[in-house]
Structure 1
């Protein structure tokens, strides 16, 4: 006779592969990923959540919380994941680890993900890799959706910056120089030439979308453009405003095909302190 717990276990098993993939990208360790998935099952079996309509989303959220706690604990203890390296030819990984290493997440990306803060990693992995809405990510992190979006954007820049060759930096610099010159001159058409039609400009207080609106905003702040300088922001070319020898404001860009697709305008001192800013 099938019990309610058996039925719940069957439903859980249909999501196990997905949950393992989420946990592995979060933790970079097959063993820890299995632990996180098992903890999700324990919480599900104790929760009475058998009638949850979107069980997959519920479980993804639970695994995200478990992994976030594990990452924070790991960072506090200064530990490395036990199986964060690729097994040597003489070593034989278990089937689960072999499958994980063979999927779309390369080891180079996992190395980059390890440089992110736990909150950045969760926002990037859940949103960019699994399409979880920022509203749900915000609930896991205890932050606003706008803050979750900013965390994912910052993580995205670091990932892209770590993978960008020098040639890409040179291309980025040309785009940034053109943006800066147009902003200083109030050249609306010049700004449109380097902005993606669907560009988003984000501040701590809101989002401005569309090339025309973003260009108009840049023109209105021409006085700031006159004192801004090109800089590497977490390894990606952007702009920085300095005051009394300190970074007072940053414009961090995301580029696609020589167009600016995202602009993060950062003025909050605590957020600025988290960025690696190098004038170039």
Structure 2
């Protein structure tokens, strides 16, 4: 691919790369530096054998961020957090998208307390659904060790983050609208409750991204939707799959106000035992 074509492809990925870098570093300036370094690597690389450019770029940006975090830690520098909108150009759509994707100040303080490898593993896996195998390659560790890092970071984040109010009633309205649209084969109804960049995943595997792709995938299961009902899944309103009254699977949802931003397919018996069918009654 020529340089002009590479530049176009890179610009398509830039907003997501900036979001990854910002979540890793907590600084817009440092995030821009990491993304720019990724472009320099890309422009000088032989991309003929790169099958997944988005994944390749995410790996490069993650490694740049890891290097910056380790340098910052070695020098005992304060993180260059710029969470607030000071100096933010409200007329820049890309900057607006990045600001909307920013973690809150409380969580950023917690992330700053994590070791660089923990922070990278947590952000890439729990925020951006990057598989453990890919994160392990970045860190130079085994997938099992990377899972442990992520789990440890998750526990520290959960223990240090104040409990948030969960709007069960609001979540239920969104989930019921999703289920009604699913049962009626109504794509427009699904699009009304799905975030434009919604992610459908099965554990570490991303199955589809984007409202239309996820909605179209969901509609292939319309006929089975009669066996689905609202339930409490991982502390938020989700859907339980209960043919004949027997729980065989669940859908976990992550919400952003009145939109669904992540749908996770859950089949692990251990997690299914935590699904509360009685908490959200028909």
The answer to whether the superposition gives a TM-score over 0.5 is yes
Q: Matches of residues 53-202 of structure 1 in structure 2 within 5 Å?
A: 53-84=51-82, 86=84, 91-94=86-89, 95=92, 99-103=97-101, 105-165=103-163
Is the Cα–Cα contact under 8 Å of residues 70 and 116 in structure 2 kept in the other structure?
A: yes
Cα RMSD (Å) of the superposition? Answer: 3.2
SS of residue in 1 equivalent to 2:44: helix
Is the Cα–Cα contact under 8 Å of residues 19 and 37 in structure 1 kept in the other structure?
A: yes
Quick one: distance in 2 between partners of 1:104 and 1:39?
21
Structure 2 unmatched ranges of 5 or more: 164-247, 250-267, 277-282
Q: Alpha-carbon deviations, 1:251-272, whole Å to 9, x = none?
A: xxxx997xxxxxxxxxxxxxxx
- Residue from 2, 7, 11 that aligns with 1:13: 11
- Residue from 46, 49, 53 that aligns with 1:48: 46
Give the structure-1-normalised TM-score: 0.55
Instruction: Say which is worse superposed, 126-135 or 104-113, in terms of deviation.
Output: 104-113
- Residue from 24, 30, 46 that aligns with 1:32: 30
Q: Matches of residues 226-237 of structure 1 in structure 2 within 5 Å?
A: none
Structure 1 unmatched ranges of 5 or more: 166-196, 199-208, 213-254, 258-280
Q: Matches of residues 241-280 of structure 1 in structure 2 within 5 Å?
A: none
Is the Cα–Cα contact under 8 Å of residues 8 and 50 in structure 1 kept in the other structure?
A: no
Q: Alpha-carbon deviations, 1:229-277, whole Å to 9, x = none?
A: xxxxxxxxxxxxxxxxxxxxxxxxxx997xxxxxxxxxxxxxxxxxxxx
Give the structure-2-normalised TM-score: 0.55
Q: Alpha-carbon deviations, 1:123-168, whole Å to 9, x = none?
A: 0011111111111100100100000011111111111111245xxx
Q: Measure how far apart 1:49 and its partner are.
A: 1.3
Distance 1:163 1:82, change over 3 A: closer
Structure of higher CA gyration radius = 1
Q: Alpha-carbon deviations, 1:146-194, whole Å to 9, x = none?
A: 00011111111111111245xxxxxxxxxxxxxxxxxxxxxxxxxxxxx
Distance 1:162 1:56, change over 3 A: same
Distance 1:74 1:6, change over 3 A: same
How many residue pairs were aligned?
A: 175
Distance 1:108 1:17, change over 3 A: same
Structure 1 outlier segments of 4+, above 4 Å: 95-99, 209-212
Is the Cα–Cα contact under 8 Å of residues 134 and 149 in structure 1 kept in the other structure?
A: yes
Quick one: distance in 2 between partners of 1:20 and 1:67?
11
